[in-house]
Amino acid sequence: MIITKENGKKQIISQSSGQKFKMIAKTMMGLEELLADELQQCGATDIEILNRAVSFMGDMCTLYRANYTCRTALSILKPFAEFEAYNDQDLYNQVYKIPWEKVMDVDCTFMIDSTTSGEIFTHSYYAALKTKDAIVDRFRKNFGHRPNIDTENADYKFNLHIADSHVTILINSSGESLHKRGYRQGVGIAPLNEVLAAGMIKLSGWKCDCNFYDPMCGSGTILIEAAMLANNIPAQYYRGDRFAFKRWKEFNLGEWKRVKEQENRRIGEGDFDYEIWGNDIDMNVLNQCEKNLEYTKLHKDVMLHCGSFEDQDPPEGRCIIVTNPPYGERIKVEDLNAMYQQLGDTMKQRYGAGREVWLISSDFDALKHIGLRPSRKIQLLNGSLDCRFMKFELYDGSKKDKYND
Ligand X SMILES: C[S@@+](CC[C@H](N)C(=O)[O-])C[C@H]1O[C@@H](n2cnc3c(N)ncnc32)[C@H](O)[C@@H]1O
Chain residues binding ligand X by CB under 6 A are 188, 190-192, 216, 218-219, 221-222, 279-282, 285, 308-309, 324-326, 331
Q: Pick from 185, 196, 201: which is nearest to 290 by CA?
A: 185
Output the smallest distance, CB 216 to ligand X, in A.
Answer: 3
In the complex with ligand X, the residue whose CB is nearer, 76 or 201, is 201
In the complex with ligand X, the residue whose CB is nearer, 225 or 356, is 225
Residue 275 contacts residue 320 (beta carbons within 8 Å): no
In the complex with ligand X, the residue whose CB is nearer, 15 or 308, is 308
Output the smallest distance, CB 327 to ligand X, in A.
Answer: 7
DSSP assignment of 117-181 equals ESSS---HHHHHHHHHHHHHHHHHHHHSS-PEE-TTT-SEEEEEEEETTEEEEEEESS-S-TT--
Output the smallest distance, CB 366 to ligand X, in A.
Answer: 12
In the complex with ligand X, the residue whose CB is nearer, 301 or 363, is 363
In the complex with ligand X, the residue whose CB is nearer, 308 or 341, is 308
Output the smallest distance, CB 369 to ligand X, in A.
Answer: 14
Helix (H, G, I), strand (E, B) or coil at 299: coil
Output the smallest distance, CB 124 to ligand X, in A.
Answer: 32
In the complex with ligand X, the residue whose CB is nearer, 79 or 188, is 188
Output the smallest distance, CB 382 to ligand X, in A.
Answer: 9
Closest residue (Cβ) to ligand X?
A: 218
Task: Report the Cα 229 to chain-centroid distance in Å.
Answer: 15
Q: Pick from 405, 349, 342: which is nearest to 377 by CA?
A: 405
In the complex with ligand X, the residue whose CB is nearer, 30 or 325, is 325
Task: Report the Cα 105 to chain-centroid distance in Å.
Answer: 30
The CA distance from 242 to 236, in Å, is: 10
The CA distance from 83 to 295, in Å, is: 47
Output the smallest distance, CB 289 to ligand X, in A.
Answer: 7
The CA distance from 160 to 284, in Å, is: 43
The CA distance from 369 to 186, in Å, is: 32
